[in-house]
Amino acid sequence: MYEDFVKLAQESLKPVMKLAENNTALAVNLLKSQSEKTAELMQSNLSHLQALAATKDLNEAVALQQKYAEVLGEKFQTASKENTVAVESAMTEAGKVFEGSLAEVQAQARKTAEKIEKEMNKAAKKAA
């Protein structure tokens, strides 16, 4: 009986463990992306400031600043899209886990109901 309980507990925790793995993978992916983007941003800022410092013409400096702002905006959009895809993928995977878990719970409930019905029928036969 104890072994059955332990087995049931382990089976019940599988979806939770899968969700934990999914969330961990998502966190690692997002942190890695953030780290890479931060390093890229710092290098980009340094290069931009060096280019601005070397510029003597005000019009050229303004043009460099505008171009940098456009490139920076594009980088932020790209990073946002990548992160959105990663989160949506994790949510889809979590949905699959929940759907699978629900199906398993329903199947287990059916088996338990059938088992109880059989036991009740046996008890009724013995009583009669």
pLDDT in tens, 17-61: 888 899 999 999 999 999 999 999 999 999 999 999 999 999 999
pLDDT band at 1 (very low <50, low <70, confident <90, very high): low
pLDDT in tens, 82-108: 999 999 999 898 888 878 777 777 777
Does residue 81 contact residue 32 with C-beta atoms inside 8 Å? Answer: no
